[in-house]
Amino acid sequence: MSRLDDVAPELNERGIPFFRQHAIDLIYKGHPVGDGRLDLLVDQRVVVELKSVDRLAPVHEAQVLSYLKTGGYPVGLLMNFNVPRLRDGVRRFVHSA
């Protein structure tokens, strides 16, 4: 069972629309350069990337920022579950268009 399986029932119960493993085209300077999969897209506005690592790395942050910019999403959360307190493993990102 993944962390996404834990989150889905709560979002359903609250009537919050979401997609798991949402496909997104990655664009660089107007040209497609690949594709990605968002762990979770909530209400077509919030990108949630889930990790379970010893320490979040700059590449994890770049991944979230890339998804926000490419998809035009305003907010992203990077969550690392490999921490004693979950609140210590959450980073929030904002993309202003």
Q: What is the 3-state secondary structure (H, E, C) of 8-20?
A: HHHHHHCCCCEEE
**Whole-angstrom distance, CA of residue 65 vs CA of residue 47:** 10
pLDDT per residue, tens digit, the chain (97 aa), is 455 566 778 888 999 999 999 999 887 788 888 888 999 999 999 999 999 999 999 999 999 998 998 888 999 999 999 999 988 999 999 998 6
Q: Which domain holds residue 30?
A: 3-94
CA angle at 2 for the pair 95 and 52, rounded to the nearest 5°: 60
> What CATH number does residue 47 fall under?
3.90.320.10
- pLDDT score of 33: 86
**Whole-angstrom distance, CA of residue 96 vs CA of residue 76:** 12
- Domains held by the chain: number: 1
pTM, 2 dp: 0.83
Tell me 70's DSSP state.
H
Q: Helix, strand or coil for residue 59?
A: helix
